[in-house]
Amino acid sequence: MSEDNMSMSDLLPLVAAALNDQAAADAAEELAAAREERDTSHKVEVLRAINDGDDKVYEDGETIVYGSALFEDGQYHSRNEDDWKIQLNKSRNICRLEDLRDCQVCVGGGIAIASLDELSNESYGWVNGDETDHPDLDGDACSIKIEFRPQSTILTFFIRGWPKAEWKAVMEEEDAYAEHDIIPFLVENVAVQYPEAIVEFKSIKFSTKKIHGALKRLLPPKRKEQVRADREKRKIEYEGRQEVVEFVESNMRERGIFYLFHWMAIVVLMIGIQKRSEFFDRVIEALIAKCERSGMFTEEEAHEIMTTMEEQQCSEDLGSDDEKSPNPVRGPK
């Protein structure tokens, strides 16, 4: 066999390997494209379509995404299992408050299901201030909620750059805005007064009754099991907290200090009492007794009371164990 033939024979495995590598690379690229297409169709997004300043639709117009997440990444709401809440991932794009009217809530790659241009007669919104379950609310940021009817879809977003004193005053003023006209109020009043104000879209909450089919079809089997288990866990935790609050309420009613019930319930939950037990019931009764004697107190004082009672409980338990032991350990005489 000639040297040329030997060289060609030696090259054949390399050529085959290169072809296989190219085929694998092509397959990986096709898979990534298919996955991206699939994810796009499953996304829930808040976006803004840019046009030439009129009402015409331009196919080549730029689309800016401000927040997005996969539908299946949502979860049942902690306080209401009839709600499916999706936390939105913030994009690099910045939404100015003055552009709020151009934004839409979209699914399936851009199909609008709600518009912030004009709310329907049944839809409304309100300034929620710092009353929110989003942990990243900080500084002067103000939470806003919009409920789109009849779908019962709730969009939550933050406004940054609107001074806290100003939005606090709006919350306290009964006729500051009409709930149906909250978007014009924000765009025509707040944005004009504070042109640097921006919007961060945080979450979208759907009524499970309205998206039952989507939950059945879009959630993979393992994800269904996961969210159902999470829902049951949250339900148990919520029921436990409810029992604690009811115990606080009944005791404070009996003592004639029910007017401080809401404050006491918050203190009890904040120090970590999330379910009833014999020990926790005694702690609650001790806190209520202190409240009856001296009125309101700090969360730190409540922690100190519970810590002291825990130490006493541990001492009692150790003493009980020593008495039950056939050969109790004795100290030096």
Distance separating alpha carbons of residues 246 and 186, to the nearest angstrom: 39
Pick the closest to residue 201 from 48, 61, 83, 316 (CA basis): 48
**What residues have CB less than 8 Å from 214, skipping those under 6 apart?**
71
Model pTM? 0.61
Q: What is the pLDDT of residue 55?
A: 52
Contact 218, 42 (CB under 8 A): yes
Beta bridge partners of 126: 145
- Tell me the backbone φ, ψ of residue 64, rounded to 5 degrees: -110, 125
Q: What is the pLDDT of residue 8?
A: 56
Distance separating alpha carbons of residues 117 and 100, to the nearest angstrom: 8
Would you give the distance in Å from CA 50 to the centre of its chain? Answer: 29
Q: What is the pLDDT of residue 329?
A: 46
Distance separating alpha carbons of residues 316 and 204, to the nearest angstrom: 50
* Residue-level pLDDT, tens digit, the chain, 333 residues: 444 455 656 666 766 666 666 666 655 565 555 455 556 678 889 998 765 445 555 455 578 999 999 988 888 776 666 788 899 999 899 999 999 999 999 988 778 888 888 776 678 899 988 876 666 777 788 999 999 987 789 999 999 999 999 999 998 887 888 888 899 999 999 999 999 999 999 999 988 777 777 777 777 777 777 777 777 777 788 888 889 999 999 999 999 998 888 899 989 988 999 899 999 999 999 999 999 999 998 989 999 999 999 999 888 877 665 555 555 544 443
Q: What is the pLDDT of residue 107?
A: 86
Q: What is the DSSP string of 268-287?
A: HHHTT--S--HHHHHHHHHH
Q: What is the pLDDT of residue 192?
A: 96
Please state whether 33 falls in left (phi above 0), alpha (psi between -120 and 50) or beta. Answer: alpha
